[in-house]
């Protein structure tokens, strides 16, 4: 098999990032976006690709692509993913996979029925400190895990929400746990497994006039393993992003991955073990006046290609994406609004 052929649906900031890493490793065949200006911007960088402003036309006419990357607003992920899977192509779906567990089930079912692969982007799993902690947990180096603290202190201001009509919308955005902090929710599951019970509170302190949901969520999660997780997510960090961190307290050690984007090993005290050989951490995704999660989309695309060409191991599947949405849904549906 030669180069793998990709297409992209959604040509905003994250779609452009996908395009960059696809063209470095594979072949970008076509892009689709209802915004003609967005199509023109991406065609200036990649002049030989096909442009579609209609999703149905894209589905019927783009016959060369093996994989389609869904980079549209959150509320469109489920339906577009299902249609692409039914058309016979694999899908790489940006986070969040969907805005309800019901929709994730439909997406997984479509992949299975059509014998296609469904990848969900979880780029923070590739952060080197995160991977080292996962190795510790899998090897039992921390012993029994008692508790975990997850802090997500970012800034998303009025300019951020008003620059795109879908941002801040309940229907298309969903909320801060979907858009800003789903990667942190994913790592709760990836590290420690399923949750059993939730107590949560949420409130909109400073974004009342332009978003449909909360800007702060605080939750206490009880895991099936018995461990407790405290989660504090806010987009009210003054002026800029402050911190994204996970601290684990275990029978045989304590470890904290922090920085602004889970990109720094900040603390370790582990019985008879030291995490070593951490390379220089990578920068976050830079969107101009604000920054997002870590810039590991090259590794995401590399994994997709390895799975499709070499039957490699999928880094994050539809099932992983569903688990994130399950936790978010339980938090939002908890008894303490």
Domain boundaries, the chain: 5-120, 125-293
CB 81 within 8 A of CB 68: no
SS3 state of residue 196: strand
What does the DSSP 8-state code read for residue 279? Answer: P
CB 137 within 8 A of CB 220: no
Q: Do domains 5-120 and 125-293 have the same CATH topology?
A: no
Q: What confidence score (pLDDT) does residue 294 get?
A: 61
What's the pTM value of the predicted model, to 2 decimals?
0.94
The residues pairing with 291 across neighbouring beta strands, listed in sequence order, are 286
Cα dihedral sign, 140-142-148-153: negative
CATH number for domain 125-293, candidates 3.40.50.800, 1.10.443.10, 3.30.360.10, 3.40.50.300: 3.30.360.10
pLDDT, one tens digit for every residue, the chain (337 residues): 678 999 999 999 999 999 999 999 999 999 999 999 999 999 999 999 999 999 999 999 999 999 999 999 999 999 999 999 999 999 999 999 999 999 999 999 999 999 999 999 999 999 999 999 999 999 999 999 999 999 999 999 999 999 999 999 999 999 999 999 999 999 999 999 999 999 999 999 999 999 999 999 999 999 999 999 999 999 999 999 999 999 999 999 999 999 988 999 999 999 999 998 676 555 554 545 445 556 799 999 999 999 999 999 999 999 999 999 999 999 999 965 4
Estimate to the nearest angstrom the gap between the alpha carbon of 140 and the chain centroid. Answer: 26
Which positions ≥6 away from 183 have C-beta within 8 Å? Answer: 95, 122, 123, 124, 262, 293
CATH number for domain 5-120, candidates 2.40.30.40, 3.40.50.720, 3.30.500.10, 3.60.15.10: 3.40.50.720
d(CA 110, CA 127): 30
d(CA 285, CA 282): 9
Residues in the chain: 337
Q: What confidence score (pLDDT) does residue 161 get?
A: 96
Nearest to 93 by CA among 63, 72, 114, 124: 72
The CA–CA distances, whole Å, from 25 to 4, 19, 178 equal 9, 10, 29
272 φ, ψ (degrees, to nearest 5): 55, 30
d(CA 219, CA 230): 6
Burial 272-283 (b: 16+ CB within 10 A, else e): eeebeeeeebee
Dihedral, CA atoms, 28, 32, 33, 34, nearest 10 degrees? Answer: 160
Mean per-residue pLDDT of the chain? 94
d(CA 190, CA 212): 29
What does the DSSP 8-state code read for residue 63? Answer: -
SS3 state of residue 270: strand
d(CA 2, CA 308): 11
d(CA 241, CA 286): 12
Nearest to 39 by CA among 50, 51, 30, 23: 51
């Amino acid at each position: 098999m030669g180069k793998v052929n990709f297409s992209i649906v959604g040509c905003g900031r994250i779609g452009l990032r996908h395009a960059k890493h696809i063209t470095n490793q594979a072949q970008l065949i076509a892009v689709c976006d209802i915004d003609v200006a967005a199509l023109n911007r991406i065609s200036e960088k990649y002049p030989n690709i096909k442009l579609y402003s209609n999703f149905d036309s894209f589905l019927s006419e783009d016959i060369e692509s093996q994989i389609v990357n869904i980079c549209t607003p959150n509320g469109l992920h489920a339906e577009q993913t299902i249609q692409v899977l039914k058309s016979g192509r694999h899908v790489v779906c940006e986070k969040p996979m969907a805005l309800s567990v019901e929709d994730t089930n439909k997406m997984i079912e479509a992949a299975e029925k059509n014998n296609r692969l469904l990848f969900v982007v979880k780029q923070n799993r590739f952060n080197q400190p995160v991977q080292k902690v996962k190795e510790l947990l899998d090897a039992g180096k921390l012993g029994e895990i008692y508790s975990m603290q997850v802090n997500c202190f970012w800034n998303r201001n009025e300019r951020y929400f008003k620059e795109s009509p879908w941002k801040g919308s309940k229907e298309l955005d969903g909320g801060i746990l979907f858009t800003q902090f789903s990667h942190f929710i994913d790592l709760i599951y990836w590290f420690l497994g399923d949750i059993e019970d939730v107590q949560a509170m949420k409130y909109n302190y400073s974004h009342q006039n332009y978003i449909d949901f909360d800007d702060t969520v605080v939750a206490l999660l009880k895991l099936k393993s018995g461990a407790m997780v405290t989660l504090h997510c806010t987009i009210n960090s003054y002026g800029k992003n402050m911190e994204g961190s996970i601290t684990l307290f275990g029978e045989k050690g304590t470890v904290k991955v922090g920085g602004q984007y889970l990109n720094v090993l900040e603390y370790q005290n582990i019985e008879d073990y030291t995490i070593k050989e951490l390379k220089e951490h990578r920068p976050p995704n830079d969107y101009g006046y604000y920054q997002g999660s870590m810039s590991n989309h090259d590794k995401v695309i590399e994994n997709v290609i390895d799975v499709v060409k070499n039957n490699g191991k999928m880094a994050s599947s539809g099932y992983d994406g569903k688990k994130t949405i399950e936790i978010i849904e339980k938090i939002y549906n908890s008894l303490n609004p």
